[in-house]
């Protein structure tokens, strides 16, 4: 009961999002972009950090990765537009939206030149190999 009272005003992303979509329907991608979320799983092995970032509906050309001073940064910029037409094909509504998400992860000791990234089924997988000493050039990382 104490937890229930403590959490009375906390937001539940699942139910709050569901309610928002039910009473104010939007495209799921727009809703996702509006929440500024980059859900991430990070696994560490002896040789690598492996990041899995949910990016559903995001084109790889809109995702920018950079590694500088021990930080891996992800920046996403997404534009969307929709048109609604009547039965005669006339446009009755036209909407445009723009969303930006970014997140950074502190991952020191990474071999910047061998970081790889790819998108499969809406999940961005980034493999960051570890090294004892690395020269941090701070350049962009291409997504394959």
Q: Residue 60 phi/psi, 5° resolution? A: -60, -25
The confidence score (pLDDT) of residue 61 equals 92
Question: Is the pLDDT confidence value at 7 over 70?
Answer: no
Decide which of 99 and 107 is more confident: 107
Closest alpha carbon to 119 in 56, 39, 71, 28: 56
pLDDT category at 125 given cuts 50, 70, 90 is very high
Distance, in Å, from the CA atom of 80 to the CA atom of 99, rounded to the nearest integer, reads 9
Rounded mean pLDDT, 113-119:
95
Give me 54's structure tokens. Answer: 């949910």
The confidence score (pLDDT) of residue 54 equals 93
32's enclosing H/E stretch is helix 28-34
Evaluate the CA torsion angle 131, 128, 74, 64 in order and state its sign. Answer: positive
Place of tokens 């950090």: 49
Rounded mean pLDDT, 55-69:
91
CATH number of the domain located at residue range(s) 38-141 in this protein: 2.60.40.790
Residues 6+ apart with CB under 8 A from 138: 66, 67, 68, 69
The confidence score (pLDDT) of residue 24 equals 53
Report yes or no: 45 and 52 within 8 Å, Cβ to Cβ. no
Report yes or no: 105 and 54 within 8 Å, Cβ to Cβ. no
Q: Residue 56 phi/psi, 5° resolution? A: -65, 135
The confidence score (pLDDT) of residue 10 equals 47
The confidence score (pLDDT) of residue 98 equals 77
Least confident among 96-100, 114-118, 127-131: 96-100
The answer to whether the pTM exceeds 0.75 is: no
């Amino acid at each position: 009961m104490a937890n229930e009272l403590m959490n009375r005003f906390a937001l539940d992303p699942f139910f709050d999002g569901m309610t928002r979509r039910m009473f104010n329907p939007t495209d799921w991608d727009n809703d996702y972009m509006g929440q500024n979320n980059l859900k991430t799983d990070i696994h560490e092995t002896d040789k690598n950090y492996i990041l899995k970032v949910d990016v559903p509906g995001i084109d790889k050309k809109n995702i920018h990765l950079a590694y500088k001073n021990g930080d891996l940064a992800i920046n996403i910029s997404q534009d969307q537009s929709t048109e609604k037409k009547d039965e005669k094909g006339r446009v009755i509504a036209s909407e445009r939206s723009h969303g930006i998400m970014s997140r950074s992860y502190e991952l020191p000791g990474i071999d910047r030149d061998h970081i790889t990234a790819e998108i499969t089924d809406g999940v961005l997988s980034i493999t960051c190999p570890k090294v004892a000493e690395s020269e941090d050039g701070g350049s962009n990382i291409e997504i394959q």
